[in-house]
Amino acid sequence: MNTPASRWPAPTLSARDGALWLEELPLAEIAARFGTPTYVYSRAALAAAFAAWQDALAGRRALVCYAVKANSNLGILSVFARLGAGFDIVSGGELARVLAAGGRADKVVFSGVGKTRAEMRQALLAGIRCFNVESAAELEHLDAVAGELGVRAPVSLRVNPDVDPKTHPYISTGLKGNKFGVAFADAPAIYRRAAALPNLHITGVACHIGSQLLDRAPIAEAAQKLRDLVEHLAADGMALEHIDLGGGLGIRYRDETPPPVAEYLAPLLEVFAGRAEELCFEPGRSLVGNAGLLLTRIEYLKPGETKNFAIVDAAMNDLARPALYDAWHEVVEVAARTHAPSTYDVVGPICESGDFLARERSLAVAEGDLLAILSAGAYGMTMASNYNTRPRAAEILVDGASAHVVRERETVEELFARERTPG
């Protein structure tokens, strides 16, 4: 079998006697109990990833807000809530999930370019920590909603520093051509407008330049720009309570070399050394990406003239990243086999040529074998769909030798339970 990469905190994922284990459970046992395809997460890996951020920020006034969009399962959110995390949300639905999982509203920051008035009302009534406002128009809407409720809305302005994050263009958010945030040059004027609105309370400033960041230089450049803005605002009489530097730290999928959390944060902490404002961070992928895998079974092996296909029961509706970004996920045999390895494209049963999970992988497998698709904890289940009327996968959280069902597998009947035929 292929050897799982060392990206997982030991002994989270390991090969024992030719079989793949997650914590203290063999993956084959999980498949036998819960079926496939199934997302499987490690509680130990989640805790270790969060501890890396906490340890790197020890001694600093800081708050780590998990970016819910990466993986919004209630079981995952509950783990982070118990560890003391805050939460970064981008919808009213994500706020409802955080509260249902035991998260504190006063540790929630609400980002996103298209907040509706209903979502603003929901968040104000819940008492969230802050709105990361992303346009001048949003300020006006938020002021009106807060006025209707007789409250003052806490706001930060998300500024766009026009820094190239050197990542995939679909997950770049800090360039002036992106839809996110307000132009850096416009920020002082928009802050003055916010200060003049009666139902807003300015609490901070925010910045997020993109996801899967591997180079510290871009975020350090953005941080310096943010400090210059903070000092400019202070000169205008606007003292801030917090500075939100976003998330974005990447993980290893294949051969990437992301810096350790402490090294990633070091230049940012240096830029803001000696300042009294609380520092906020919004990691998502770096907390959950390598804490989860997608377990799938081979239905057919199909040799061809130019390609061999391993057709599995998972598909692009379960894991969209390969089709959407041409993303690479390591594929590992769950049990060692005596077959000679061959090169396969790992594909699903969906009626699309873009339905692939991995291309040109050397695998020693037979029909019926299990595969683990690694690094699937982030943007896996949250981006899943029911295309081809396929029920979404089950989700399992492993804690030592225990396996907890944190989401039951959907049934086909549930998929059309809200549909009606005409009379």
Active site residues: 351
- Residue that the structure tokens 């019926």 belong to: 368
Specify which residues 131 forms β-bridges with. Answer: 110, 155
Measured CA to CA, the distance from residue 6 to residue 340 in angstroms comes to: 25
Q: Tell me the CA distances in angstroms from 71 to 4, 86, 95, one per residue in order.
A: 22, 14, 13
Q: Tell me the CA distances in angstroms from 82 to 22, 85, 101, 103, one per residue in order.
A: 22, 7, 10, 8
Element (H, E) at 221: helix 216-235
Peptide bond into 218 cis (omega under 30): no
- Residue that the structure tokens 């497998």 belong to: 365
**284 labeled binding residue:** yes
Measured CA to CA, the distance from residue 200 to residue 140 in angstroms comes to: 10
Tokens of 83: 């560890």
**174 labeled binding residue:** no
**321 labeled binding residue:** yes
Measured CA to CA, the distance from residue 205 to residue 277 in angstroms comes to: 10
**37 labeled binding residue:** no
DSSP per-residue string spanning 332-384: EESB---SPPEEEEEE-SSSSTT-EEEEEEEE---TT-EEEE-S-SSSSGGG-
Are 203 and 155 spatial neighbours (Cβ–Cβ below 8 Å)?
Answer: yes
Tokens of 226: 């943010």
**283 labeled binding residue:** yes
Q: Tell me the CA distances in angstroms from 358 to 12, 71, 324, 373, one per residue in order.
A: 23, 21, 12, 9
Peptide bond into 37 cis (omega under 30): yes
**300 labeled binding residue:** no
Question: Which among 39, 11, 24 has a CA at the least distance from the CA of 372?
Answer: 39
**325 labeled binding residue:** yes
Residue ranges for the binding site for substrate?
Answer: 285, 321, 325, 352, 379
Residue ranges for the binding site?
Answer: 248, 282-285, 321, 325, 352, 379
